[in-house]
Amino acid sequence: MRITTWNINSVRLRIAQVERFLKEEAPDVLCLQEIKCTNDQFPRKAFEKAGYGNMAVHGQKGYHGVATVSRLPMTETGPTQFCGKDDCRHMAVRVNGCEIHNFYVPAGGDVPDPDENEKFAHKLAFMDEMTDLMSDLSREPAVIVGDLNVAPYEHDVWSSRQLRRVVSHTPVEREAMARMVEAGGMIDVARRLVPENEKLYSWWSYRAKDWEASDRGRRLDHIWVTGALERSALAGGREAFRVHKTARGWEKPSDHAPVTLDFAT
């Protein structure tokens, strides 16, 4: 089974790119974040035409939103609300006997202080509640994917020293993510297949016109699995995990690249 996660930054605006990706890479399951549309605005016909007639959508007007589409039989088991907010940041489905959780974690604003920045406080609270869910999933065959908005390791950012006080790479966020991983016994597939001393990114800012040359990225998009899926997630080796960096260079792209993992049978 091939699973891809992609913060699309408006699915209607970039549906042509999604169609191109589905045709070229043919994932069995595609998990999208930041779809920025309501459920009835989701471009269902385009996905049906592409062969992805199974859809689980949790959207809202103009902001956030997640959707999981599949060409395999799929049962919706989510979404879950976090922090008492219905801001459409999670969807869970069951495919091939495993549960796939699609997340869009709050970005957290610009100031990494929960006392001064309500958005950052929300992000930390959201991650705390995610930790409880990870603990519940620890013994199940489950996949966690999405834009988790944290780059946890030194080489998940272009300069750990310069970004340690920047939201997405602060110690408090990295520690919160480590607690999530520990609570669920999660395997961070990317860093099991790609050594931690290698730079690995999935996001490049729109602010950098020469984004590819400067390569000042961050690894914000993740694929984790519980212990029950460790063998199938890692059996394909490094070639089974891919960041589709070329998609970041397509016309009017998302600032995130798709991230794919091929599971072994």
pLDDT score recorded for residue 211: 95
Rg of the chain over CA atoms, in angstroms?
Answer: 17
> Residue 210 belongs to a domain with what CATH number?
3.60.10.10
pLDDT score recorded for residue 102: 98
Is residue 265 predicted with pLDDT exceeding 90? no
Give the number of C-alpha atoms closer than 13 A to the C-alpha of residue 38, restricted to the C-beta side. 3
Per-residue pLDDT tens for 26-51?
999 999 999 999 999 999 999 999 99
Q: How many domains does the chain have?
A: 1
Is residue 25 predicted with pLDDT exceeding 90? yes
Mean pLDDT of 242-263: 97
CB 124 within 8 A of CB 172: yes
- Return phi, psi of residue 14, to 5°: -120, 25
pLDDT band at 254 (very low <50, low <70, confident <90, very high): very high
CB 21 within 8 A of CB 50: no
Is residue 200 predicted with pLDDT exceeding 90? yes
State which residues form the domain around 172: 2-262
Dist CA 191 CA 237 (whole Å):
11
CB 155 within 8 A of CB 174: no
The per-residue pLDDT of the chain, averaged, comes to 97
Report CA torsion sign: 197, 198, 201, 207.
Answer: positive
E strand or H helix that includes residue 7? strand 2-7
Alpha helical stretches, state H, 78-141 = 118-137
How far is CA 239 from its chain centroid? Answer: 19
What is the value of pTM for the model shown?
Answer: 0.97
Mean pLDDT of 213-240: 97
pLDDT score recorded for residue 234: 98
pLDDT score recorded for residue 46: 98
pLDDT band at 209 (very low <50, low <70, confident <90, very high): confident
Per-residue pLDDT tens for 175-199?
999 999 999 999 999 999 999 999 9
Residue with tokens 């859809």: 55
Q: Higher-confidence residue: 208 or 156?
A: 156
* Strand 98-104 relative to strand 142-147, pairing: parallel
Per-residue pLDDT tens for 126-179?
999 999 999 999 999 999 999 999 999 999 999 999 999 999 999 999 999 999
pLDDT score recorded for residue 248: 97
